[in-house]
Amino acid sequence: MAIDKQHYVLCSHCDLVIELADITVGHKAVCPRCNTTLAKNSCNMKFRSAMYAACSLIMIIVACGFVFIDIRIVGNYIGVSVLDIPKTLYFDKYSYVSALFILFVLLFPIFNLLIIVLLCSRIQLTKYRKRDLLIVYEKFQHWCMPEIFLTGVLVSFVKLMSYGSIGVTGTFWSFCLFVFFYIKSLVIFSPEVIWDEIHRNNFAVNTLKAGKTGISQNLKLCNCCQAILPMNYEKCPRCKQKSKIRDHDKIQWTIALLVTSLILYIPANLFGIMITVVFGSASTSTIIDGVIYMWQSGDIPVALVIFIASVVIPILKIISLSWLCYFALAVKQKNKNNCLKMKKLYTAVEFIGKWSMIDIFVVSVICSLVRNQQMMGVYPDIGVTFFASVVIITMIASQKFDPRLIWDRPQNRKIGQ
């Protein structure tokens, strides 16, 4: 399927109006100003997306039904399934972390896979139903983390080997296939194609001028479906969502959330994240304690992974978002190179933000497996709750930030207010 000629798009990152010609199969169009991907043309997009999504759903059903991984501690066998992990957290009175696990690792990815199957299959859906499914897909997409959980499982194996003998079953490989097929379906799936089936993306009254910003042509972008709208439209005709030319309140939200995450980051590192009980004697370990243990044990790569994901990334994300807010609000003299650097910084923050959850998943796996009640047990501690909150709040902060403010000139800020 080729994109029609005279097809215009408005870049969601730099607000540039671009006219797209035909895109050949297997290629994509990028913004000439900020290098953001604007559209792609995948071969048999619907069929391949639906096929991979269906395979992924089959694999997760298998993965949830049987023992996932097991451990032998002093002759005792302990095995857990994927569903046993949130159940253990719930019984340990960490229902908050348990709910996050269920939502981020299971429910949200499964819902999105089902949406892909429905939208890409031959099931007859009204344009209103397609619209609702696409809106749900977009909202869930930022919070899907099965690949991060799988990485956390692999990291936890290093720690678990100090407790006993680790074993994996066929169910573990089913979960690996679930993650693989899930990623493949997301890479191939193109929501823009489905939105175009509902309605064209251009609602502008006047002729668009490619190479100029949308705000200079009295145009704005729908943040939900990426439609091009005149400034006076309060709601997008295609997705029925409210739209603003620029939402400067979001920067205030971003700053407030960053301050909150910085406050929570202190107890997240001061309080323990795991309690290890050996023959009735309890000891608490913090995130830094876990890094030091891995380093002293000779597992330097794993120690670096945990240190970067759990210590470096949250701090860098807070600093980076703060710098982005300063650049958007205070810097008046902007050139393309500086704006492009800020855009790359924002893209990196968006990508790496949720990987800090890896430490939460490592704790979840270890606490679920090491449960030899008479000799040894590992339990979550209050630091897990604080740290999970830091990750979630910083993710919300990055989503609140409008990257188009990076490129706006001072005169454009007044128009958007």
Architecture of domain 246-403: Up-down Bundle (1.20)
* 226-240: pLDDT as tens digits: 899 998 888 899 998
What are the tokens at 171?
């169910």
What are the helix (H) ranges across 331-372?
336-352, 358-369
Report the predicted TM-score, pTM, of the whole model to 2 decimal places: 0.87
| DSSP annotation of 355 | G
Among the listed residues 369, 350, 366, 362, the one whose alpha carbon sits nearest the alpha carbon of residue 388: 362
Cα separation, 379 vs 289, in Å, equals: 15
Other residues' Cβ atoms within 10 Å of the Cβ of residue 315 = 12
Cα separation, 60 vs 55, in Å, equals: 9
Amino acid at 3: I
- Predicted local distance difference test score (pLDDT) of residue 374: 62
What are the helix (H) ranges across 121-207?
127-141, 146-160, 170-188, 191-198
Amino acid at 347: T
Q: Are 117 and 133 in contact (CB under 8 A)?
A: no
Residue-range domain boundaries for the chain: 1-41+201-235, 44-199, 246-403
- Predicted local distance difference test score (pLDDT) of residue 410: 57
* 293-342: pLDDT as tens digits: 778 777 787 788 778 878 888 888 999 999 999 988 888 778 888 888 99
Q: Enumerate residue ranges in the chain where pLDDT < 50.
A: 1-5, 413-417
- Predicted local distance difference test score (pLDDT) of residue 247: 66
- Predicted local distance difference test score (pLDDT) of residue 211: 87
3-class SS at 225? Answer: coil
What are residue 53's phi and psi, to 5 degrees? -65, -40
Amino acid at 180: F
Other residues' Cβ atoms within 10 Å of the Cβ of residue 177 = 17
| Helical axes 170-188 vs 108-120, angle rounded to 10° | 50
